[in-house]
């Protein structure tokens, strides 16, 4: 009697497991988005892996579809693009650790430099494509709650008492480094490059940060979903996306000065040579520069490089004074050393934030 029970139990467990996995695969095969079905009839379907940072999810979802159609038209072949998203630094680390990305599209050149430093791609990768390999740009803007109740107009307002600023952690988030550098650039202009005052400004700014998330998307979630903070320092595209998702609850404030954020793209030489996907990977990134690619970028709130598309979306992106990382900070390696490395400026600003009662507070 007992053993009958046992057998029945085991059999039903196995059946259940089999059933579940079977229906999983069935559904997958019949689902329209799976390319596996039409791949059977063609030679050599290509699969690319694009390792990207957080706010590009929507952009590449649309872009990948468009590119797959384009590739089919051009070559007759099938290409499937797999996506991986996460904090820029985290993604770069994964590629270094062996995540086989054909292309990387990260938040800042420094993270791709880190990959190049391990020999996965050539040191001068930024020369491979136009505009320093950044097919689209963005900038840093403020997202505030509807009606701008705290009257935030410019960077000065962020250091006032009683303002809560949400930004991700510049140590881990690419977007947050742009935030930080934009604020620094503004303070330099304001205080005429008096470094002590600039540092004081940045320090005050970070004292107003109640939550330091690890990625740009986490920070947006904190601001919009948890309703914490008065201002979100965000990628322009991230801010517009929040507007699109959550509509009338927020508005965008464009500061008088910001930074030209250049998220670069690159082919990971070692991976594409091994997998034999260089041609497709190159076409994939080049397509970003075409009219179609630029249009998709603009639609997803990235500032296009191509003049014709830029003109078309002129009203969407307000003109403002933009500083660049190269002219203002001497490039990423310099900026990293001065601002973000352990023991550099940033560490001092986020340290000893006035404690309102740490663990004892519970």
Partner 1 sequence: MKLLRLKDRVLPGLPLTLGFTVLYLSLIVLIPLMALAIRSAGLSASEWWLTVTNARVLAAYKLSLLTSLFAAIVNLVFGLLLAWVLVRYRFPGKRIVDGLIDLPFALPTAVAGIALTTIYAPNGWVGSLLEPLGIKAAYSPLGITIALIFIGIPFVVRTVQPVLQDMESDMEEAAVLLGSYRWRIFRKIILPELIPPLLTGFALAFARGIGEYGSVVFISGNMPMKTEITPLLIITKLEQYEYNQAAAIAVGLLLISFLLLLLINVLQRWSNRRQSPIRKGG
Partner 2 sequence: MAGIVTNTRARPSADRKPHLTETRAVRWALTGIALLFLALIVMLPLVSVIAESFRKGWDAYVTALTDPDALSALRLTMITALIAVPLNTVFGVAAAWAITKFRFRGKNLLITLIDLPFAVSPVISGLIYVLLFGAQGFLGPWLQQNDIHIIFATPGIVLATMFVTFPFVARELIPIMEAQGVHDEEAAVSLGARGWRVFRKVTLPNIKWGLLYGMILCNARAMGEFGAVSVVSGHIRGETNTLPLHIEILYNEYQFSAAFAVASLLMLLAVVTLVAKSILESRMSRDVEN
Shortest reach from residue 299's CB to partner 2, in Å:
17
Cite the DSSP H helix spans in 130-169: 130-133, 155-158
Contact 280, 48 (CB under 8 A): yes
Shortest reach from residue 265's CB to partner 2, in Å:
18
Contact 232, 150 (CB under 8 A): no
Contact 153, 266 (CB under 8 A): no
Which of partner 2, partner 1, none interacts with 319 (beta carbon under 5 to 8 A by kind)?
none
Q: Which structure tokens are listed for 234?
A: 């965000």
The three-point CA angle 82-88-89 to 5° equals 120
Longest C-alpha distance within the chain, in Å? 88
What is the CB neighbour count within 10 angstroms for residue 28?
Answer: 11
Which of partner 2, partner 1, none interacts with 132 (beta carbon under 5 to 8 A by kind)?
none
The rounded distance, in Å, linking the Cα atoms of 131 and 305 is 8
The rounded distance, in Å, linking the Cα atoms of 292 and 310 is 12
Q: Which is nearer to partner 1, 144 or 288 (CB)?
A: 144
Q: Which is nearer to partner 1, 2 or 352 (CB)?
A: 352
249 near partner 2, rule: CB under 8 A: no
Contact 229, 222 (CB under 8 A): yes
Which of partner 2, partner 1, none interacts with 350 (beta carbon under 5 to 8 A by kind)?
partner 1
From the list 62, 66, 70, 83, which residue makes contact with partner 2 (rule: CB under 8 A)? 83
Q: Which is nearer to partner 2, 114 or 306 (CB)?
A: 114
28 near partner 2, rule: CB under 8 A: yes
> Where along the sequence are the contacts to partner 1 (CB under 8 A)?
87, 89-90, 93, 96, 114, 169, 171-172, 209-214, 222, 225-228, 342, 347, 350-353, 355, 358-359, 361-362
Fill in the DSSP letter of residue 76: S
192 near partner 2, rule: CB under 8 A: no
Residues at the site binding partner 2, with contacts judged by CB under 8 A: 2-3, 6, 9, 17, 20-21, 24-25, 27-28, 31, 33-34, 49, 54, 57, 82-86, 94, 96-100, 118, 215, 217-218, 221, 225, 245, 274
């Amino acid at each position: 009697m007992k053993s009958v029970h046992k057998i029945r139990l085991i059999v039903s467990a196995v059946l259940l497991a089999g059933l579940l996995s079977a229906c999983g695969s069935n559904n997958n095969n019949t689902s329209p988005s799976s390319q596996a079905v039409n791949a059977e009839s063609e030679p050599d379907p290509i699969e690319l892996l694009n390792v990207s940072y957080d706010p590009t999810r929507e952009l590449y979802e649309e872009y990948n579809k468009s590119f797959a159609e384009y590739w089919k038209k051009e070559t007759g072949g099938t290409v499937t693009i797999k996506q991986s998203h996460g904090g820029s630094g985290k993604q770069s680390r994964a590629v270094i650790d062996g995540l086989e990305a054909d292309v990387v599209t990260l938040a800042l050149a420094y993270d791709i430099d880190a990959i190049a430093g391990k020999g996965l791609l050539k040191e001068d990768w930024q020369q491979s494509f136009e505009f320093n390999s950044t097919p689209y740009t963005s900038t840093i803007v403020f997202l505030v709650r509807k009606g701008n109740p705290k009257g935030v107009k410019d960077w000065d307002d962020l250091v006032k008492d009683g303002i809560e600023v949400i930004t991700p952690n510049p140590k881990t988030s690419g977007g947050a480094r742009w935030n930080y550098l934009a604020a620094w650039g503004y303070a330099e202009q304001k205080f005429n490059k008096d470094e002590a005052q600039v540092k004081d400004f940045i320090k005050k700014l970070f004292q107003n940060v109640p939550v330091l998330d690890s990625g740009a998307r986490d920070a947006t979630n904190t601001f919009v979903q948890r309703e914490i903070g008065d201002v979100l320092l965000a990628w322009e595209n991230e801010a517009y996306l929040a507007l699109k998702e959550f509509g009338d609850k927020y508005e965008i404030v464009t500061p008088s000065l910001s930074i030209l954020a250049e998220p670069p793209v690159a082919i990971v030489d070692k991976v594409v040579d091994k997998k034999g996907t260089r041609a497709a990977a190159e076409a994939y990134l080049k397509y970003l520069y075409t009219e179609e690619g630029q249009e998709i970028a603009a639609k997803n709130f990235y500032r296009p490089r191509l003049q014709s598309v830029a003109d078309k979306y002129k009203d969407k992106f307000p003109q403002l004074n933009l500083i660049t990382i190269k002219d203002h900070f001497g490039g990423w390696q310099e900026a990293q050393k001065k601002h973000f490395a352990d023991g550099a400026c940033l560490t001092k600003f986020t340290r000893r934030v006035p404690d309102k009662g740490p663990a004892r507070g519970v």
